[in-house]
Chains A and B, each alone.
Chain A
Amino acid sequence: MKNNEKLPIILQKVCAGFPSPATDYLEDEINLNEELITNKASTFLIRVSGSSMIEEQIYDGDVLIVDKSLQVKHNSIAILNHHGQLVVKKIIKKNNKFFLISKFGNQNNFLEITEDNETQVWGIVTYVIHKVKK
């Protein structure tokens, strides 16, 4: 045998006593990426700045997990391209049409999502990462 060849190493120690029943499960750590991201290629993290979405539990500085591959649904929170600006809005469905809700004071305005009024869905928010401040 040449001295530069590697010998296989067995990492498991041989134990004389009662084997710990936990050893079989040691590798099962929680992987947040796997839990929270179903489509790696289409999922982006986006930070928000501002407080207009507090009603939807999205606070200033929170990080949104956004999946571009998902279709918009009733009650989706979505990232939209609205007149060349990325915005975060709640979407509702009425009579088979989708509307974004925009607020003026206490009043909810409904704006239909069409190519004509230059509003397109960019992606769908799937989770909000909120750091709890001490």
Chain B
Amino acid sequence: MSYIKLRNKNNKKIALVDCNSFYVSCERLFNPRINNLPVVVLSNNDGCVISRSSEAKKIGIRMGEPYFKVKQLIREYNVQVYSSNYALYGDISRRVMHVLKKFSPKIEIYSIDEAFLDLTLVKDEELENFISELRSLILKWTGIPVSIGVAKTKTLSKVANHLAKKEKIGTKSFILNYEEEINNFLKKFPIEDVWGVGRKISKLYKNNNILTAYDLKNANNTWIKKNTNVLGLKTVMELRDISCIDFESNSSPRKNCCVSRSFGKKVLDYETLKESIVAHCLNAAEKIRFDNQVVKSVVVFIRNSPFNKNEKFFSRSKKVDLPLPTDDSILLTKICIQSLKEIFLQGPRYQKAGVIFSGLSRKGKYDEGLFLYERKEKSQNLMKAIDKTNFRFGRSTITVADTGFSNSWRMKRSHSSKIDTSSYDFLPTINIR
């Protein structure tokens, strides 16, 4: 087949570095007492299990399971439970990525705990040593254990990483190299675990008897083209060792900014809902100002829980397009409150509210008209002053009065380790009595 010829030209070495049970590993860093115990970390609001130690996996706690469903198991096996502490995880992630950047000039940070590395420059015979050294260095410097999978394409490096984790190999690293070997593994690799194959497409594949990664690799090009999208075909090519999903640079500016939270306890009244919407709006405005962006349209959304059997699902949103893009907190807050007024309905027990800024663009890209100028300059100086103060003295030192002072809607985080390695006031503490 033609791709075999092409394959020889592909000398790329792409590594996927993935932190093992990342959030759990972060919690263990300053609390080694829990090193060999089953540990789980819960999502915002202590809703679902989002990170599990290998011990927790063994006793049958599944990913994404609601907390209340596993409470029994947790008590029975003395599982250590933590609320998510993103300030800590973010700082540790930054450190891991910092180390990776020293090892490769080309890196794509794929998520908080995963990154693709281009290791093409590493010689074949040195590769194994190289990744084993990389693993121990990351562990020593940051305290975080990682798994590394290497292959010639991103999609296959994901497969290699799965294998590194699953195949009970002591080294937690895996290099996919030889055609035959790759095929053997792909035959055992379920289609829904292939990177880029979503739930919808995996259903379609299964209905057409494509059950493993190997089946997909040998699928008919024309059929794939006809029945899926561009990414579908790219995935197939990548399984064939033809690299066609490039590294994405992490500097491309974002197009949207969404800030939303689930409520600690259900919210019924307009005032509380308004407080939270305003806080989210200010938060989002600060984020886009930090990136030097302005927003073109603003969406406010509210909903109750989709899982409550005693209540009809209620979800509403309102989008407002602005005549001129802005980053003005006060203007944006006014718009958000107006939108909320229009969509609010007394009755539903609200579980979530949020604000989405979309159509973000770089500030100063538009010609903004003469008459608005004076007002704008005033507001810009004000925004700068607010951000500076908040940066120095902590978020929400200065805020719009509508945020309220009680914040009864704030997140539930009853099991938080309350450590933040990037904040002087919340440093980890060692007792040396």
Interface residues of A (CB under 8 A from B): 3-4, 6, 39-42, 44-53, 58, 63, 68-69, 79, 81, 84-88, 122
Count A/B pairs, Cβ under 8 Å: 77
| Known contacts A42-B142, A50-B432, A86 near B366 by CB under 8 Å | no
Task: List, sorted by A's number, 20 A–B pairs whose CB atoms are closer than 8 Å.
Answer: A4-B365, A41-B95, A42-B140, A42-B141, A44-B421, A44-B428, A46-B430, A47-B427, A47-B428, A48-B432, A49-B433, A50-B433, A53-B432, A63-B427, A69-B140, A79-B430, A84-B32, A86-B30, A86-B428, A88-B432
- 7 further A-B contacts with Cβ under 8 Å, apart from A47-B429, A50-B431, are A6-B364, A41-B95, A42-B140, A46-B428, A79-B430, A84-B34, A122-B32
Q: How far is the CA of A86 from the CA of B367 in the complex (A)?
A: 58
Specify which of B31, B34, B424, B431 is in contact with A45 (CB 8 Å cutoff): B424
By a CB distance below 8 angstroms, the chain A residues around B359 are: none
By a CB distance below 8 angstroms, the chain A residues around B380 are: none
Q: Are B32 and A52 in contact (CB under 8 A)?
A: no
The 9 closest A-B pairs by CB, nearest first: A42-B141, A50-B433, A84-B33, A50-B432, A41-B98, A41-B95, A81-B32, A47-B429, A52-B432
By a CB distance below 8 angstroms, the chain B residues around A87 are: 430, 432
By a CB distance below 8 angstroms, the chain B residues around A46 are: 427-430
The chain A residue with its CB closest to the CB of B100 is A41
The chain A residue with its CB closest to the CB of B95 is A41
- Residues 79-118 of B at the A interface (beta carbon under 8 Å): 95-96, 98-99
The chain A residue with its CB closest to the CB of B422 is A45
B220 within 8 A of A: no
The chain A residue with its CB closest to the CB of B36 is A84
Q: How far is the CA of A4 from the CA of B369 in the complex (A)?
A: 11
Within the complex, what minimum Cβ distance (angstroms) separates A9 from chain B? 14
Q: How far is the CA of A48 from the CA of B430 in the complex (A)?
A: 5
Q: How far is the CA of A88 from the CA of B366 in the complex (A)?
A: 57
The chain A residue with its CB closest to the CB of B426 is A47
The chain B residue with its CB closest to the CB of A71 is B140
Within the complex, what minimum Cβ distance (angstroms) separates A121 from chain B? 10
Q: How far is the CA of A63 from the CA of B429 in the complex (A)?
A: 9
Q: Are B429 and A68 in contact (CB under 8 A)?
A: no
- Residues 400-433 of B at the A interface (beta carbon under 8 Å): 421, 424, 427-433
Interface 1/0 per residue, B342-379 and A, CB below 8 Å: 00000000000000000000001111000000000000
Interface 1/0 per residue, B211-234 and A, CB below 8 Å: 000000000000000000000000
Q: Are B433 and A88 in contact (CB under 8 A)?
A: no
B78 within 8 A of A: no
B264 within 8 A of A: no
B177 within 8 A of A: no
The chain A residue with its CB closest to the CB of B432 is A50
